[in-house]
Structure 1
Amino acid sequence: MRKAVSLEFSELHEKVIIELDDSQSPKTVRAIINNLPIKVTVNRWGDELYTDETPVKAGEENAKSVVSLLDVAYWPEGSALCFFYGLTPISKQGKILPYSPVNIIGRIMSKPTANIQEFLKSVEKTHVSNKVPVTLSQL
């Protein structure tokens, strides 16, 4: 099952379209859909955006230690969502490494209006620094 959702950055007037895909983590994706909309603050770690704790509770499900560019994942250790726009501080040899294993739940389908680095800086300046929540909701 594939389902399109949006991640809204209200202060930037930006919506990121995400395709949830339950082929790797069906229980996790179902738990996320059942909890929509999810309103939560975000943080930045290198070129990864991740949320504070969400109401979604799921254990490891086919968890991966290496992810691909634009993957969206659920981080069981922190009950958080992760959006991989590039390398993290612990990435090695061009491989994108999350802090600990994550459940892949989908992909980022839309590019930001600015280039990715400008977008991440804007998110950090407006949403991260000011703790302005983002909202993940159905389209």
Structure 2
Amino acid sequence: MSNRHTIILMQTSQSRATRTFMDYDSISQAMDGIRGLYERKLKDLNPASGNITYDIADLYNFIDGLADMSDLVYDHRIQAFLPNDRERIKQKLFQHLKDAFGSRNVRYLVGIKDYQLLLENYSLWGTLGYGIESL
């Protein structure tokens, strides 16, 4: 995905105090950031587990479980940020994972050195299977 400045806006609960943002240099980095949030949550919820698996539906449920999520992506043609809702973010996330992993089984290092993402299964019909393993 192109190098377009992207800001993720999110609110984790109904409390306005949980509003936050994450700033990235590209859409790809932003999608990795969202995936990383989910993986950290999984690791926090399962600290004793050495292997945690999830699929794209679980990641979508995480996004849908937030009180709010949207992004602003810079468009150089009009020199302004364009907003996207959570459904568009999920579409971009799926495309990013598809581009990153293709249809092969591959290992991919996540930004946090304590995790490793293992692509176990991939289907063009929308099912992604992952395993997080401690290094």
Query: TM-score, normalised on structure 2?
Result: 0.29
Query: Which one has the bigger helix percentage?
Result: 2
Larger Rg: 2
